[in-house]
Every structure is written in structure tokens, then in C-alpha cells.
Amino acid sequence: MEGAIKTVVGVYLKSSKGKENLGGKEFQSLVKNQLKNIMTGAEDNEAVTNMRQQLDNNQDGKVGFQEYMNLIGYLAQALSNQRCLEKETQAESSIQETQPEAAANAQAEPQAAKEAEKEDKPVVEKAANPEELKPEEEKKTDVEQEEAKAEENKAEEKIKTEEAS
């Protein structure tokens, strides 16, 4: 954990080149070089510019350390949600496979997988959309909504499994 924190701070300091804030070019470079594997749209200059503007809470045209940490926190939360959903999906799949009627359900699985894929679309992709970068209070509401939706999906799957029995 300490190493991860040191890396996050070190990346900011190196990218800011000793300044207090990241200017447009520095932020663009940081996103392209450091976040391209977890964030779609990192290569799109306009998308990154829009993201920087969304992060710029004090409207000074630059991204300060706290604004940068808001982005890192949002990405970490999105990645955590994505991994939790993946684990839930894997767990549900393994439970369904162990049931005797798994063969009967095999025909329904492609459709269920498509529906789950639509609903469980990685949250990280949303982070690339600058309009989705919101203040912390609004993000928590979105996270809570996503968790509620995941719980509803889980309950529906449980009902379907029980009905199939």
C-alpha cells in the first residue's frame, strides 16, 4: 500500500515538473502515459482536455494535486466496482454450473450473458467520459445506484434459478 501511494504521488510530482499544478500538456501526458490501460479515451486529446476541465474545480485551467487525487479516487472506485461485479458474476456462474439442470439452462445462458454484459459494463469505461467526472457527493450517489442495481440483478438471478428448480 505504501508503495502504491508513493507511486501515485511520485507520478504527479514528476508530471508537474516541480510546479504546484499540472498544465494542459502535463495532464495530457500523464493520462496518456500512466492511465491508458485502465481508462478508455486516454489517446483522445479532446476527451482528455474535457476531463481536465471537469476535474478543475477551482477553474484555474490547471489540475492541482487534490483535483488529481479526485481522479485517482474515482478510477480506484470504478476499478473496485468492476472487479466486485466480475467476482459476483463468476460466483453465480459456478453455482449455476453445479446444479443438475445446468444443461437446460445452457441454452438460456448466452442471452443472460448478453444482458449481464450490458448491465455490468466496466465502470472504468465511464471514467473516460469527462461528463461522468462529478463532485465526490454525486459520485457516491452513482456508486450507491450501481450497487443497488447489482443487488437487484442478483435477486432476479436467484429468482430465475429457483423457478428453474
The torsion region of residue 104 among left (phi > 0), alpha (psi -120 to 50) and beta comes to alpha
CATH topology classification for 2-164:
Recoverin; domain 1 (1.10.238)
Least Cα distance to 62 among 73, 72, 53, 75 occurs for: 53
Least Cα distance to 83 among 108, 120, 56, 52 occurs for: 120
For 115-139, how does the pLDDT look when each residue is reduced to its tens digit (9 = 90+)?
544 444 444 444 444 445 544 444 4
For 54-79, how does the pLDDT look when each residue is reduced to its tens digit (9 = 90+)?
998 999 999 999 999 999 998 999 88
Domain residues of the chain, as ranges? 2-164
Q: pTM higher than 0.75 for the full model? A: no
- Identify the residue whose cell numbers are 500500500: 1
Task: Evaluate whether 75 touches 127 at the Cβ level (below 8 Å).
Answer: yes
Which of helix, strand or coil describes residue 60?
coil
